[in-house]
Amino acid sequence: MTELIEKIKREGQRLPGGILKVDSFLNHQVDMGLMKRIGESFAEFFSPMKPDKVLTIESSGIAPAGMTALCLKVPLVVMKKQNSAISDAERFGVNVRSFTKGLDYELTISKKYLAKDERVVFVDDFLAMGEAALGVHDIVTQAEAELLGIGIVIEKSFQPGRGKLDALNIPVYSLARISHMSETALEFIE
Ligand code: 5GP
């Protein structure tokens, strides 16, 4: 997606450890016009699969996944990274390692919002090691639902996540794919 790639080139900050900071338009201040066009692009890809729901993970996935759900006219379900007093006791869960925090967290979803045989797609902001997406796949499998496809706003193709997801044999659609990132260079797969 040319507009997204140009935005990353202009505003992305490359941090040590292969982390890209895009908080000026994706996950702190949010460019909702861009999110709308991202949602339209994902919806065009996923629409023929006829998903019942869009899943994402709090909080950075909510904007692009929400616009995708709006375009597809289906509910958005936000999976939780933290439990609280109001969390449903009846939930699916899996431990996931956070790439940016270097810690494990429990990814959960209430059993009310993911039912057997439901057809879902997963949309997230970044793909790095693939742990979040594999966790979502695990949860969807626990629920005996079906993961039809995965939409990623920014894929860091130089990290192992893409390879792990390809092994699942589920379509992965990434809007920007970074092939190489260093202090001096930022390259994309066309
Ligand atoms: P993975 O599970 O694929 O290793 O990482 C995916 C999650 O880590 C995404 O949901 C995203 O929130 C976060 N993440 C991974 N890499 C980056 C990055 O370079 N920049 C930012 N801002 N978040 C990242």
Q: What is the pLDDT of residue 85?
A: 80
Is the CB of 57 inside a 6 Å radius of any atom of ligand 1?
yes
Q: Where are the domains of the chain?
A: 36-178
Task: Please list, in sequence order, all residues whose beta carbon lies within 8 angstroms of the beta carbon of residue 182, skipping any fewer than 6 positions away.
Answer: 14
| Mean pLDDT for the stretch of residues 76-97 | 91
Is the CB of 105 inside a 6 Å radius of any atom of ligand 1?
no
- Record: fold of 36-178: Rossmann fold (3.40.50)
| Mean pLDDT for the stretch of residues 151-174 | 97
Q: Do residues 121 and 54 touch, judged by C-beta distance below 8 A?
A: yes
**pLDDT tens digits along 44-81:** 999 999 999 999 999 999 999 999 999 999 999 999 99
Is the CB of 127 inside a 6 Å radius of any atom of ligand 1?
yes
pLDDT of 88 above 90: no
Predicted confidence band of residue 158 (pLDDT cuts 50, 70, 90): very high
